[in-house]
Amino acid sequence: MSEQTPPTLATAGSVPPDPASPTPLERGRSPEPAAGATQRPPSGLRRFLHGAAGRNIGLVIALLLVCVVGVATAGERFVSVDNLMTILRYAAVIGVLSIGMTFVITGGGIDLSVGSVLGLASIWASTLATQTMAGDIHWIVMVGTALAVGTGAGLVNGVLIAYGRVVAFIATLAMMVGARGLAEMIANRQTQLVTVDPFLDFFRADLLGISVLVWIFAVVAAAGWVLLNRTTFGRRTLAVGGNPEAARLAGIKVKRHTMYLYAIAGLTAGIAAVMMLARTTAGSSTHGQYYELEAIAAVVVGGTLLAGGRGTIVGTVFGVLIFATLANVFTQNNLSISAQAVARGVIIVAAVLLQQRLAARQRST
Amino acid sequence: MVNDVQNVPGSPGAQPGERPGAPILTMSGIVKHFPGAKALDGVDLEVLPGEVHCLLGQNGAGKSTLIKVLAGAHRPDSGTITWRGEPFEVTTPVAALRAGIATMYQELDVVDGLTVTENVDLGHELASAGFTQRRAARARTAELLARLGHAEIPPGREVGRLSAAGKQVVSMARALSHDARLIVMDEPSAVLDSEEVANLFRVVRDLTAAGVAVVYISHRLDEIREVGDRITVLKDGRTVATGLAVDQTPTADLIRLMTGRTVEHAFPERPGVPAAADRRLVVTDLSLRGVFEDVSMTVRAGEVVGLAGLVGSGRSEILETIYGARRATSGSVEVAGRRLRAGSVSAAVGAGIGLAPEERKSQGLLLDEPVYRNITLSTFGRFARGPMLDEQAERTAAREQITALDLRPHDPDRTARTLSGGNQQKAMLARWLVHGCDVLLLDEPTRGVDVGARAEIYGLIRALADRGAAVVVVSSEIEEVLGLSDEVLVISEGRVVHRCRAEQIDEHGVLDLVMEGSAA
């Protein structure tokens, strides 16, 4: 408030300023567009530590700790290339689900149905009819079916939540129960073997020594990262999750966007169903049971705020890897699944406690 | 109405440790750092029993931080607090309450899902053996509400269904329900209309007559003149003047102390609207069933139209309906000759309407996001190349507005939460400046904004109109509506009861009309 003169309006509001002509203030800044957090010298270190990289350091440490335990207890067996591939293959399916879940949670919602939808899509894509058609035409028919079923279920969730104003927890709970039941009805509680060999050949192959399934996870994660951090869609997701009313009053179509978020979660469930069909060579109505909870756990441990408004794909990937590695360490040591579940629970609680402390620190400034 | 001061909680009379004339509270040399900023840098405050001590200062001067220190929400880094003659360390909000310091925060701190009674009793429920005594609690709450002049609020009503003013009353009742010797009121009048403010003052006088001290924070100098005894002025986290007698300190001095400069004319010149100017916004017989009906107005390019009326008269709802945030039951809104689809915000934004809502924090801002993202919230798609964001271009645009509006601090990456009220409002205006609006709807544009920044915001609004925007302003401060607008619509109970040029009516005239309308 040092100037007496009324402020002059620099830009005539009607035209956004030309991005090619930076103001004098822009001079001296690094032209690199990425990672704006680390650019400014005055508080660079602090910004870095508070930025994405800083938040992920905790996750890196956690992952390393699990690995150290793995090496210490299982040694050679743990560090072998084969075993690392096993971990990644295991992580891939949950990982793809978790990327979709990251979007839903960042947008202020929750999706309990992805596991069941995975099961339903795996059944639908492996019915006799679908497989016959796939055998006649191309295996892509099975993939298309799984993705369509997943996206369709996601859209139903989205429409119910966004336009029907059903609470997300309840709408997706209903879908979780209903999709599982529908899968059982279609499959008649039978496991449906995949007989389309080209499908299996494609998805069970290795590319550059790495399973195609892992590549799919990598591609989905990368696409998710770009979508969340670098696109208008991602910005809308943050806005809708952070303050839906402000987003609405700023002209963002909140309902439509919410619907899209659930469709994305459904789409990832469809992709995960394809991966599951390939990994197990069969469709089953029990595929994906409890996967929704594992995905939510991975997302939250990764640092995405359960309340919405802040999400991190990198964190989610770490969350998935931590749980997958942990499961592997337990298996390598012939420990029970029950003990593993206890460890998982402890990790989730620790992560949430940490997250709350960080949030509280931020709020007090 | 309760004249009997004996009923005041925290009953009067000499309390141990309180000599007459001795301060009930002394804060000295209070320092509080936040990461990256020094919020308080040596504040002194001395409050006498039974006085109304006004705390003045611009937004960001440290008032809110100071009262949070007093309420136990923040712990000071250094400095001493003496409470009723003894050194006192406020460790938690509960400790402050136990000691008799109650605080009414500026942000309404009520729980929407609970009833009025449950809110008032929150944290100190009347209970025997763990069972709440609902009947007694309800009766006590009803009594408190009656004392506040709001006996019409049912104690069993869910707070979420009350208006902002109603919530303020609940917040006040809660402060009263404690056995408080000192009540801090942080801008209690911000959401109240003039009648309710009068009620508030009566309660304040009741309290002080009973020996309770009140620390009163407000940006409205006329209120301070009416209810205050002494004034402490804060600037940049320091006390610049303390213990000024309200009736002996000229307004000009106060403003000079707060701002370090003199403010002459708060309201900018109105150049007048040429008759040939484009009709930018035409509202015809707009109605929202049960809230308002048959509202018509025409706003030309360069014109500011003000809606005056009491809280609850439907003013904000009219703006929200024009904007499409509520779906009109009948009537039409046209921008530049094109009729808008009812109930569609994106249609309104697409047609060039911008709204700065009443509740900046809950309706306007993404508090945890950086300022530049708040500024570009309705335009980031325009900066994007295809679906890909261009954050550098966004920052550049935001930075230009930040410089032009003197939005402090000059940092587009600052989190919106950390800005003061005036600067948050500037961010809202900046959003629509970047967007480029033909029609700008401003709901309480200076709520929670200090005197110095107010003049700037008035200047901004005028500058926008002069550049050809059609502006509609809603404010609880009639003076503000009259000072800013070319044309004024007086709203009472959802109807336009009068319309005229702003210079043809004064504050009394508006109030008369409003009262008449209410009586009808």
Question: Taking CA A70 as the corner, what is the angle to CA A68 and CA A71, rounded to the nearest 5 degrees?
Answer: 65
Per the listing, tokens 């940092």 go with: B411
Contact between chains at A251 and B345 (C-beta distance less than 8 A): yes
Count contacts between A and B (CB, < 8 Å).
169
Which of B69, B409, B57, B411 is CA-nearest to residue B236? B57
**Separation in Å, CA of B138 to nearest CA in chain A:** 32
Q: 10 Å Cβ neighbour count for B194?
A: 16
pLDDT confidence of residue B107: 63
Query: Under an 8 A CB cutoff, do A363 and B417 touch?
Result: yes
Give residues 54 to 73 of B whose Cβ lies within 8 Å of A. 58
Q: Residue B36 has what DSSP assignment?
A: T
What integer pLDDT is reported at residue B193 of this predicted model? Answer: 73
pLDDT tens for each residue of B117-139: 888 877 666 666 666 677 888 88
Q: What percent of chain B has pLDDT over 90?
A: 9
Residue B54's contacts (CB-CB under 8 Å, 6 or more residues apart) are: B215, B216, B217, B218, B224, B228, B229, B230, B231, B232, B246
pLDDT in tens, B173-229: 888 887 788 888 888 877 777 777 887 888 888 888 888 899 998 877 778 888 888
Q: Taking 90 as the threshold, does the pLDDT of residue A259 lie above it?
A: yes
The pLDDT score that the predictor gives to residue A49 is 52
Q: Return the pLDDT at A206.
A: 83
Q: Given an 8 Å threshold on Cβ–Cβ distance, is A7 in contact with B436?
A: no
pLDDT at B372 over 50: yes
For residues B196 and B228, the answer to whether their CB atoms sit within 8 Å is no
CB atoms within 10 A of CB A136: 8
Per the CB < 8 Å rule, is B389 touching A232? yes
User: Min CA distance, A145 vs chain B (Å)?
Assistant: 27
Whether residue B472 has pLDDT greater than 90: yes
Which pLDDT does position A44 carry in this prediction? 57
Residue A237: band (very low, low, confident or very high) from pLDDT cuts 50, 70, 90: very high
At residue B367, the pLDDT reads 87
Pairwise CB contact (< 8 Å): A362 & B378:
no
Instruction: Looking at the complex, report in whole angstroms how far the Cα of residue A118 sits from the nearest Cα belonging to chain B.
Output: 29
Structure confidence at residue A35 (pLDDT): 38
User: CB B389 to CB A251 under 8 A?
Assistant: no
Residue linked to tokens 């402090």: B408
Q: Is B435 on the interface with A (CB under 8 A)?
A: yes
Q: Best residue in A43, A227, A248, A249 to probe B by mutation, most B CBs within 10 Å? A: A249
Contact A102, A312 (CB under 8 A): yes
Q: Do A10 and B395 touch (CB under 8 A)?
A: no
Q: Is residue A147 part of a domain?
A: yes
Task: Count how many Cα atoms sit within 13 Å of the Cα of residue A33 in the half-sphere of its side chain.
Answer: 12
- Greater model confidence, A160 or A90: A160
Contacts of B431 in chain A (CB under 8 A): 250
Is residue A10 scored above 70 in pLDDT?
A: no
CB contacts of B369 in chain A (<8 Å) are 238-239, 242, 309
| Residue A144, pLDDT score | 93
Chain A: closest CA distance from residue B511 (Å)? 31
Which residues 118-177 in chain B show a CB within 8 A of chain A?
none
Residue A315 lies in a domain: yes
For tokens 């017989």, the residue is B285
A196: confidence class by pLDDT, cuts 50, 70, 90: confident
Domain with CATH 3.40.50.300 in chain B: 25-100+179-262, 279-352+439-519
Fold classified for B25-100+179-262 = Rossmann fold (3.40.50)
DSSP B388: B
The DSSP bridge pattern shows strands B487-492 and B304-308 to be parallel
E-assigned strand segments in B301-420: 304-308, 330-335, 338-339, 353-356
Structural domain contains residue A167 = yes
Distance from CA of A361 to the nearest CA of B (A): 10
pLDDT the model gives residue A296: 93
Q: How far is B31 from chain A (nearest CA, A)?
A: 15
Using pLDDT thresholds of 50, 70 and 90, give the confidence band for residue B263.
very low
Distance between CA A146 and CA A269 in Å, rounded? 8
Does a structural domain hold residue A5?
Answer: no
Mapped onto helix, strand or coil, the DSSP state of residue A74 is: helix
pLDDT at A79: 81
Contact between chains at A11 and B434 (C-beta distance less than 8 A): yes
Judged by average pLDDT, the poorest of A12-26, B23-37, B71-85, B495-509 is A12-26
What phi and psi values does residue B493 have, to the nearest 5 degrees? 45, 50
- The 10 Å CB-count burial string (b at 16+, else e) for B443-455 is bbbbbbbbbbbbb
For B62-106, write each residue's pLDDT tens digit: 888 888 888 888 888 888 888 888 888 877 887 888 888 888 876
Which residues, numbered 243 to 302 in chain B, qualify as contacts with chain A under a Cβ-Cβ cut-off of 8 Å?
259, 261, 268
Is residue A262 assigned to a domain?
yes
CATH assignment at residue A331: 1.10.3470
The residue whose two tokens read 């309902």 is: A255
Distance, CA of B5 to CA of A65 (rounded, Å): 66
Q: How confident is the model at residue A97 (pLDDT cuts 50, 70, 90)?
A: very high
Separation in Å, CA of A34 to nearest CA in chain B: 9
With bands split at pLDDT 50, 70 and 90, how would you rate the model's confidence at A137? confident
How many CB atoms lie under 10 A from the CB of residue B96? 24
Tokens of B168: 């303020």
Who wins on pLDDT, B48 or B455? Answer: B48
Q: Tell me the chain B residues in contact with residue A230 when contact means C-beta distances shorter than 8 Å.
A: 388-389
Of A10, A243, A365, the CB nearest to B404: A10
Beta strands in chain A (DSSP E): 192-193, 206-207, 210-211, 282-283
pLDDT, mean of residues A238-262: 91
Specify the CATH number of the domain B279-352+439-519. Answer: 3.40.50.300
Residue in the block written with tokens 């029609």:
B439
At B290, is the secondary structure helix, strand, or coil?
coil
Band of the pLDDT at A28, cuts 50, 70, 90?
Answer: very low
Chain B environment of A231 (Cβ under 8 Å): 384, 387-389
pLDDT at B6 over 60: no
In B, minimum Cα distance to A18 occurs at B393
Q: What is the pLDDT of residues B417-469, one digit of tens each?
A: 888 777 888 888 888 888 888 899 999 888 777 667 778 888 888 888 888 88
Q: What mean pLDDT do residues A240-248 have?
A: 89
The pLDDT of residue B259:
64
Neighbour count for residue B264 (Cβ, 10 Å): 8
Does the distance separating the beta carbons of B390 and A19 come in below 8 Å?
A: yes
pLDDT reported for residue A106: 94
pLDDT tens, residue by residue, B290-301: 889 999 999 998
| Tokens, residue B344 | 């569609």
What angle, rounded to 10 degrees, do the helices at B421-435 and B451-466 form? 10
> Out of A4, A7, A246, whose CB is closest to B404?
A7
Partner residue opposite B433 with nearest CB, options A11, A248, A253: A11
Rg (CA), chain A: 23
d(CA B302, CA A119): 61
Mean pLDDT of chain B: 81
Res. A30 pLDDT band, cuts 50 70 90: very low
Look at residue A173 in the predicted model and tell me its pLDDT. Answer: 94
Strand-pair category, B86-87 with B78-83: antiparallel
Preceding peptide of B409 cis, ω within 30°: yes
Asked if B35's CB is within 8 angstroms of A365's CB, the reply is yes
| pLDDT score at B106 | 67
Contact A325, A83 (CB under 8 A): no
Based on the structure, what is the number of domains in chain A? 1
**Residue A310, domain member (yes or no):** yes
Average pLDDT, chain A: 81
Please report the pLDDT score of residue B22 as a whole number.
81
Domain that holds residue A162: 83-355
How many angstroms away from the CA of A235 is the closest CA of chain B? 8
Output b/e per residue, A5-18; b: 16+ Cβ within 10 A: eebebbbebeebbe
pLDDT band at A42 (very low <50, low <70, confident <90, very high): very low
Confidence of residue A168 (pLDDT cuts 50, 70, 90): very high
Is the torsion defined by CA of B169, B174, B176, B177 positive or negative? positive
Res. A321: pLDDT tops 90? yes
> What pLDDT sits at residue A160?
95
- Do the Cβ atoms of A13 and B393 come within 8 Å? no
Spatial distance between the Cα atoms of B258 and B227, rounded to a whole number of angstroms: 19
